[in-house]
Structure 1
Amino acid sequence: MSMNTLLLSCLVALFVCSLGMAESPLKLELLIPHNPVTLSKADLVKVDSGAKGPVLGITLLYRITNTGKQAVEIRHGGDESTISLSIQGPGAANIPYRGPMTADYRMGKNVTIGPGESQQFQIKGLAYGARNMSRWSISKAGDYEATLKFSSRTGRKVTTLTSNPTQFSVVIK
């Protein structure tokens, strides 16, 4: 195969792939319900390998909006969807889950979002990841920035959305 043929084949493949990658009509928005977030010292989680429990005093909300002209179906919950949460700030610590997980397959729910409609969901205790088993810890007062990534698989179609960065403040009393 000549270099010209190889180059032409690559260009055709890129063009064909780009035709199937239309931009999703779904938009993801991360919402902070109360600003500032007030935590008690009991809400704080020690950051070590044996740390247990979520930051109960923080519940984040996210909204998925369909900006398109047709209804869109996603899967939410279960093993067909995952949220990834990123938090930056003075006391933010990621605590990924490294333990065992059952092998059963957990079904999520079908969620249909009509044109111009939105669905809102919660993230309780800063839990995220596969089956919400990983989490973030907040150990200090201060200003934080959070970004969310949502991924949903419906059949062979994978939808991945990234939110706007959202700022919030934490006060400890």
Structure 2
Amino acid sequence: MKCMMIVAAVMVTATAAFAAEPSTPKDATLKATLTSKKESYVLDPAQQGEAFRKKIADAKEKGEAMPKPPAVEMVLTVTNTGKKDITLQIGGDESRIMLALEGKGAVSVQTNMMMTMDYRMGTPTKLAPGKSTEIKITSLAYGTRNISDYAYWTEPGEYTLTATLTAQTPEQEQGVTIVSEPLKVKVEAKK
């Protein structure tokens, strides 16, 4: 019984942390920068057009598995531009990256993927003033455990992608939220 109460308390704490609308602490300045290692991405012909967008909508409605989102080579760099050390819990259930994809043919959807009920701890990452940490983004899968949400570009053209990192920190009880500047992404039709 005692064990069940502890597990429930951890789950409630984790849920409350995200429900509290964390924000960047006023005395700890953090900057998020989203960059791409590629100048452009090639649109998979199987993930193009109205038929593919309908396939996503149908999978969502029927509770079926979603198609895999596009692979990317991006990095979210978090820099401490303040005068105090700050520690972020990165990579576990107490942190998540959300992506906002905008442009003609942009589709974002919550997946129907089930998750285990275990609580996964993140890695404490201490950032001294002026120091940075890099988080690799390898696909347009994001959200809780990088599996709860998918984004797709379904037409060639220009898109913007914004990343939002929410993480817990011992220095601020409700955690922090850091939003990157939008990154322009060029998506080309396969030749």
- The normalised TM-score by structure 2 is 0.72
SS in 2 for 1:103: coil
Specify whether residues 76 and 169 from structure 1 end up closer, same or farther in structure 2 by C-alpha distance, changes over 3 A only: same
Output the CA distance in 2 between the equivalents of 1:121 and 1:82: 11
- Work out whether 1:140 is the aligned partner of 2:155: yes
SS in 1 for 2:93: helix
Structure 1, unaligned runs of 5 or more: 1-20
Bigger shift: 125-134 or 151-160? 151-160
Query: For this pair of structures, how many residues does the alignment match?
Result: 151
Output the CA distance in 2 between the equivalents of 1:158 and 1:144: 30
Could you say which residue in structure 1 is the equivalent of 2:75? 61
2:123 pairs with one of 87, 109, 121: 109
Output the CA distance in 1 between the equivalents of 2:164 and 2:93: 15
- The normalised TM-score by structure 1 is 0.79
Could you say which residue in structure 2 is the equivalent of 1:130? 144
Structure number with larger C-alpha Rg: 1
Cα distance, 1:92 vs. partner? Answer: 1.1
Structure 2, unaligned runs of 5 or more: 1-24
Output the CA distance in 2 between the equivalents of 1:53 and 1:166: 22
Is contact 1:80-1:154 (8 Å) kept? no
SS in 2 for 1:140: coil
Output the CA distance in 2 between the equivalents of 1:23 and 1:84: 24
- Work out whether 1:169 is the aligned partner of 2:177: no
Could you say which residue in structure 1 is the equivalent of 2:107? 93
Cα distance, 1:115 vs. partner? Answer: 1.3
Output the CA distance in 2 between the equivalents of 1:38 and 1:121: 23
Cα distance, 1:128 vs. partner? Answer: 0.7
Identity of aligned residues (%): 31
Cα distance, 1:157 vs. partner? Answer: 4.1
Could you say which residue in structure 2 is the equivalent of 1:158? 175
Could you say which residue in structure 2 is the equivalent of 1:26? 30
Cα distance, 1:142 vs. partner? Answer: 0.4
Output the CA distance in 2 between the equivalents of 1:87 and 1:79: 23
Cα shift readout 1:95-125 (whole Å, capped 9, x = no counterpart): 2123432110011111111211111111121
SS in 2 for 1:131: helix
For the aligned residues, what is the CA RMSD? 1.8
